[in-house]
Amino acid sequence: VLVDPGQHVDEMASLTSY
């Protein structure tokens, strides 16, 4: 899942999709 660095950074911090 590609998310913009800034939106779900805290949530995707563990996955680091960006």
Each residue's pLDDT tens digit, 1-18: 566 666 666 766 666 555
Tally Cβ neighbours within 10 Å of residue 18. Answer: 14
pLDDT of amino acid 9: 67
Distance CA 1, CA 8 (A): 11
Position 8 scores a pLDDT of 63
HEC secondary structure over 1-18: CCCCCCCCCCCCCCCCCC
Angle at 3 between CA 14 and CA 12, to 5 degrees: 15
Please state the length of the chain. 18
Global pTM value: 0.05
Q: What is the pLDDT of residue 15?
A: 65
